[in-house]
Each structure stands twice: as structure tokens, then as C-alpha cells.
Structure 1
């Protein structure tokens, strides 16, 4: 680990304030925030700002939850981010992604046309930092403008998180 998770006994008011943006009062009381947030909170001001944005993507976005998780899983796979992959496999299943759909994410393949175009959008953004006209048009058949915008920001945000987690050495909780 390049950036070690902050231990609960190290928390100060800035840490609590940063985490309160996304962490439930129950988890805050137990000081059980997981390895990712414990690591990010080494920089409380940055964490607070990022969690506000990430909270929107998770809880306020116009993008359907299932498609959000599909996109995040493709990003996690492409970026080889074990932490993101593990957490979003669980979240994806809760959002309705079947095991065969999650398996297809690793190959960039989906039987559903909308799922496929979401995976294609992730791949294009990862390679070119742009979605092709054909992919944008295909997304437009299913998603409104705000949903397409939320998709792009979701892919970008989780790409950023994967970079941070991989660089800082964040590992899934059971590997700590």
C-alpha cells in the first residue's frame, strides 16, 4: 500500500465531516467505512468534494442503476481494479445483473442491445476519451440527453477511482 487506510483512532473533525457526505450514521458510529474511504480520507477536503459528486452518481443520477453498474464493472475490468470490481459485482447483482451478464462484461459482450452499447461506450471512452457518433446515436435510442451525460460522467468518475485505488494500493477488505 502506498497510502495506508486511516485508522479510526486517527479520525478528527475534518475526517468525520468528509465522510458524513456519504457514510450512514450507523457506519460512522462503528467507524466502519471500508478500506477505500479509509484511504481516501487521508485527504479530507478532497474526499468530501469527491464524495459529493460520487454520491450524485450513485444516488441521484438519471442513469438506471442496472446500467450504471454495468458501466462501472466494465471500467473496473478494463482498469484491473480489484476493489472496484468486487464491490460493484455485489452492487450489480443487487441492481439485477445476472451472473452471465457480469461474466460477459469481462469480454465486452452482452446479448441485450442496450447493454452492448453501454459496454461499447465504456470501451470507446477508455481508448479515445470520446464516444463515436454511431455509439452516441445507439445510446440515444434508449437514453435521454441527461442519462447519456450521466453515463459519460459515471464512466469517467469510476475510471478516476480505479486509477486512484490502483495507485494508492487499495485492496478489498478481506485482503487487508
Structure 2
């Protein structure tokens, strides 16, 4: 049960609509309904997050989604996991790669997420492996993406934001 219930879409005022969907129509969701409870915070956070989700990020959508999925899995954040499995598939991530995220199959991205989550930094080996594939801006976008989606997982888990109606649980279990 949501600890802070999402504000129903029909109750979003002009300020909430401007903060959550400036200039566009978004389908209502529980996470946006949560943000609608605090329009000033929503405007600041979502403006920044738009950069990470493609409005300026130098990461490929595929790399971004692999990182976000690993964060969601490590943080045991079902809402983030379910939303980003759908986005990852659209970005070309295969079901086999999604399964590999669950078990932490070693790749430079999974190692980076695991180290950033555990140590708030990267080992020299992991940094070198990433730097062989990513330029400086991409490295920065990766670290900011991991940190931001760790924060968002914390928010979603703390306020127990429920899955949106009709979304599959995507075999999300926390016993692995």
C-alpha cells in the first residue's frame, strides 16, 4: 500500500501538470502521482532526470537501461524494475541480458553499478574497462544515472509505490 498515495490524475492542478509534463501529455502513473503531491520537488527532480533519460545524456539508451536495471535489482525496487524492463526491451535489451542483470553476470556496466552502490566509487580495473568503451561525458552520465536511480529506488521503496495497474510483475522476486 502506498505510504503517500499518488494524487489522482484528475486532481493534478496547473502547477503539478506544468511540473510533471511541461508541454506534453503523459499517461498517469503512480510515480508521477507521488511527485504530483510535491510539484516544486517534481519540477526540480524531473527536469534533471529528463537529461538522464535521453534529453541530453550521452549514454546509449541500451547502456543506460542496463545500468538502471542493475540498480533496480540491487535495490530490490520492483516499480523501477518493471518500468525499466519495458523501456530496456524497446532499447534492444534482450531477455537473456535482463536475466543476466538479475544474477550480476560480470560486465563493465554491472561491475560499475555494483561498485558504485557498494563503495560510492569505482576500482581502477572497472574504471579502465569503462573508459575503454565510454568517453568522459559518458562516464559522468553513467555515474549520475546510477546515483539518480539509486535515489529514485529509495523513494519508491520508502513510500511503497505500487505497480501501475496492468503492468506485469516481470518475475521480480527478492529471494535471489
Which TM-score applies when normalising by structure 1? Answer: 0.89
Match of 1:161 among 145, 152, 162: 152
Q: Does 1:136 align with 2:127?
A: yes
Structure number with higher helix proportion: 1
Q: Does 1:40 align with 2:3?
A: no
State the alpha-carbon separation in 1 of the partners of residues 158 and 129 from structure 2.
34
State the alpha-carbon separation in 2 of the partners of residues 15 and 151 from structure 1.
29
Structure 1 gap ranges (5+): 111-115
2:83 is matched with which residue? 87
State the alpha-carbon separation in 1 of the partners of residues 134 and 3 from structure 2.
40
Aligned residues: 165
- 2:76 is paired with a residue of what secondary structure? coil
- 1:173 is paired with a residue of what secondary structure? coil
1:49 is matched with which residue? 44
Structure 2 gap ranges (5+): 168-176
Q: Does 1:99 align with 2:95?
A: yes
Instruction: State how 1:3-152 maps to structure 2 within 5 Å.
Output: 3-21=4-22, 24-25=24-25, 27=26, 32-59=27-54, 60-109=56-105, 116-152=107-143
Task: Provide closer, same or farther for how the CA distance between residues 175 and 163 of structure 1 changes in structure 2, counting only shifts above 3 A.
Answer: farther
- 1:159 is paired with a residue of what secondary structure? helix
- CA root-mean-square deviation: 1.5
Deviation readout 1:48-95 (Å, 9 max, x if unpaired): 110011100001200111000000000000001111000111111111
Give the C-alpha shift of residue 16 in structure 1: 1.3
Give the C-alpha shift of residue 8 in structure 1: 2.4
Point out 4+ residue stretches in structure 1 off by more than 3 angstroms: none
